Amino acid sequence: MNPEKEVLAQKVNELQLLVDTTSSIATGTNDYTVAAGQLKGKGKELLQFENAGVDKALLEEASKSVNSLISNLVKASSYFNFIKKNVADAQAVLEALAAEAYKETPEA
């Protein structure tokens, strides 16, 4: 085997292992969507308690904080889906490259 091709095959193998490790993260469930759904509307609900004898500014701050969390969970959900697709793409391309790298080149 061509020495350079052999090194490439080793590097591709290492990359495949790293991508497969990443895959275990990306194949889980998208819990970000679930969490965002559970929190939806909860920040706004807090504002209904302005007559409860607590600091109104604190209620508003808590509401904004919860709404910000929901927004970031939705963004994280989108990123999760992109990562899942990127992992699948990387695995497919690396598999093709590995097959090419391990393929014997006919001697001239």
pLDDT at 69: 96
Over residues 55-72, the mean pLDDT reads: 96
In a domain, 107, yes or no: no
In a domain, 51, yes or no: yes
In a domain, 8, yes or no: yes
71-96 pLDDT per residue, tens: 999 999 999 989 989 999 999 999 99
Number of domain units in the chain: 1
What would the two tokens of residue 28 be? Answer: 């889980």
8-57 pLDDT per residue, tens: 889 998 999 989 888 877 777 788 899 999 999 999 999 999 889 999 99
Would you say residue 64 has pLDDT above 60?
Answer: yes
Tell me how far the alpha carbon of residue 28 is from its chain's centroid.
10
What would the two tokens of residue 39 be? Answer: 């929190």
Domain that holds residue 68: 3-102
Cα separation, 26 vs 56, in Å, equals: 41
Is 64 in a helix, a strand, or coil?
helix
